[in-house]
A and B are shown apart, each in its own frame.
Chain A
Amino acid sequence: MRIIGPDELIFGVDDLDACRTFLLDYGLTEVERTEAGGSYHALDGTGVTLRSRNDPSLPKPLPTASMLRKTIYGVEDQETLNQIAAELDKDREVVREADGSLSCRDDLDFELGFRITTRKKLDLPAEMINSPGAKPGRGPNVIGANQDAEAKPRTLSHIVYFVPDMDRMTKFYIDRLKFVITDKFTNTGPFLRPQANFDHHVLFMIQTPAYMQGLEHLAFHMQGPTELMLAGSRMVAKGYESFWGPGRHKFGSNWFWYFNSPLGTHVEYDADMDLHDGEWVERETPMSAEAAQLFLFENVEKWSPGGPPPGKKD
């Protein structure tokens, strides 16, 4: 089943203006803005759509604090949409929307959509590094440190749900939508990737009580660690609240930096995630601070050694 990953996340929020400002500062591009809300895209056209909480066009909310109203997955082709419809028609209502997409609910009532992906194929350079013993990533006179680099999110990377029944949800995504487990935190949840995406995870789940169900975070891929640091530093400078990071995860190997947001979820920058194919054998470990990260840093104000030589007054 050739599902690629989340193309679009739709939110029903309390403060459209604050959410809009946050997403623009985060680095997404506004592609639509009306009285009803707006859409904010990464470079490949994946992104976030904002509506007011009470917008009648939105699917019903979860009975929790979560503002996520719909997760729309991109798939490769019509054949995949047909397969999904045939599979999910067996035990639930699958709505055929006017735009050709499908809408339904998963086994724990998260609203899902499926459409032929609207992602643009990106042809962009990776972060280029120079490493002794390796062919130079940047040739002579090509500068690596650019304070003014754009640092735009490239593509919607992954989402993480709080779920009251991790086993039931895992079974749904594996048995019905043919996702694959790459790694697992025991008693916390699995990292999942769909068939048409090698990324370590596009979906991770965390077992919680029912009253917590919702979106823990969403993440976009950046060019590399340097753009991640640059974009995150700019958020801190604008007064946004860094929640966790910068650091590097172990499972998935992705660099991370999480921020609080007026969308009531963490919004993460990530970079340089592992890829896996069918040959990969899943790993499992108990969740802990040690298991969650290779290392963790905290942003501080810029500082440099300097001043007068030791012993001099000025």
Chain B
Amino acid sequence: MVAGRPASRQEGLTVSAAARRKIEPREIAEPLCRFDDLVDGKSRGFDPLGEGRDTMFVVRRGDAIYAWRNHCPHYDRARMAWKKDEFLDPSGEQIMCFAHGALFAIDTGECTLGPCLGQSLTPVEVELREGAVRVKGIYEPGFRR
């Protein structure tokens, strides 16, 4: 939690400046979770940069995982879940944005019904290594601030 960190004297920041500190894009060294921690058929949100909100989510289907940014293409940086980790419609067959009910294919991210028809979710490249789910490459912040 950024706002809770004491001001660093070395950096010469006041508390309020620390709270406003810009989060930079970077590689995510630590894994998101173990593959076995993901429940088959369910979604789970992650906050790889510690921004205070889940900025991406992963859906597991059998041995496959699909990872998307938590941004509905309908509005700039619109958050999609209705509750922590709830990114799927009740059937579990599609991703749903609970802002206005848009539906997306889990595997392709394409919107099939709703306000962003024809648009797609933004993929997050992830890999499975030694049983852990990891984000590949540079990860951009996603939280409005």
Q: Chain B residues with Cβ under 8 A from A15's Cβ? A: 90
Best-surrounded residue of B80, B101, B102 (most CB of chain A within 10 A): B101
Q: Chain A residues with Cβ under 8 A from B89's Cβ? A: 14
Best-surrounded residue of B4, B90, B113 (most CB of chain A within 10 A): B90
A259 vs B100: C-alpha distance when bound (angstroms)? 11
Within the complex, the shortest CB–CB distance from B85 to chain A, in Å, comes to 8
Q: Is B79 an interface residue (CB 8 A)?
A: yes
For B80, give its contact among A66, A239, A260, A266 (CB under 8 Å). Answer: A260
Specify the chain A residue showing the minimal Cβ separation from B114: A65
Specify the chain A residue showing the minimal Cβ separation from B1: A301
Total CB contacts across the A-B interface at under 8 A:
87
A243 vs B15: C-alpha distance when bound (angstroms)? 26
Specify the chain B residue showing the minimal Cβ separation from A306: B6
Q: Chain A residues with Cβ under 8 A from B103's Cβ? A: 65
Specify the chain A residue showing the minimal Cβ separation from B113: A65
Q: Is B128 an interface residue (CB 8 A)?
A: no
Interface size on A, residues (CB 8 A): 33
The size bracket of the interface on B is: 20 to 34
* A22 touching B91, Cβ below 8 Å: no
Q: Is A38 an interface residue (CB 8 A)?
A: no
* B101 touching A265, Cβ below 8 Å: yes
Q: Is B145 an interface residue (CB 8 A)?
A: yes
Q: Chain A residues with Cβ under 8 A from B82's Cβ? A: 18, 22, 240-241, 259-262
Q: Is B39 an interface residue (CB 8 A)?
A: no
A15 vs B91: C-alpha distance when bound (angstroms)? 9
Q: Is B129 an interface residue (CB 8 A)?
A: no
Q: Chain B residues with Cβ under 8 A from A67's Cβ? A: 101
* B84 touching A264, Cβ below 8 Å: no
A217 vs B145: C-alpha distance when bound (angstroms)? 23
Q: Chain A residues with Cβ under 8 A from B102's Cβ? A: 65
* B90 touching A303, Cβ below 8 Å: no
* B1 touching A300, Cβ below 8 Å: yes
Contact of A65 with B101 at beta-carbon distance under 8 Å, contacts A212-B115, A260-B81, A301-B1 already known = yes
Q: Is B3 an interface residue (CB 8 A)?
A: yes
Q: Chain B residues with Cβ under 8 A from A22's Cβ? A: 82-83
Q: Among residues 90 to 126 in chain B, which have CB atoms less than 8 Å away from a CB atom of chain A?
A: 90-91, 96-103, 113-115, 117
Within the complex, the shortest CB–CB distance from B81 to chain A, in Å, comes to 5
* A303 touching B4, Cβ below 8 Å: yes
* B84 touching A239, Cβ below 8 Å: yes
* B52 touching A66, Cβ below 8 Å: no
* A264 touching B101, Cβ below 8 Å: yes
* A298 touching B144, Cβ below 8 Å: yes
* A301 touching B99, Cβ below 8 Å: no
Best-surrounded residue of B83, B84, B91, B102 (most CB of chain A within 10 A): B83
Within the complex, the shortest CB–CB distance from B68 to chain A, in Å, comes to 15
* A14 touching B114, Cβ below 8 Å: no
Contact of A64 with B114 at beta-carbon distance under 8 Å, contacts A298-B144, A298-B145 already known = yes
Sample (24) of A-B pairs whose CB atoms are under 8 Å apart = A14-B91, A18-B86, A65-B100, A66-B100, A162-B115, A208-B115, A211-B114, A211-B115, A211-B117, A212-B115, A212-B117, A214-B100, A238-B83, A240-B83, A241-B82, A241-B98, A243-B78, A243-B79, A260-B80, A260-B81, A262-B98, A264-B96, A264-B98, A301-B4
9 A-B pairs besides A14-B89, A65-B102 with CB distance below 8 A are A64-B113, A66-B100, A214-B100, A214-B101, A242-B79, A260-B81, A261-B98, A300-B3, A307-B6
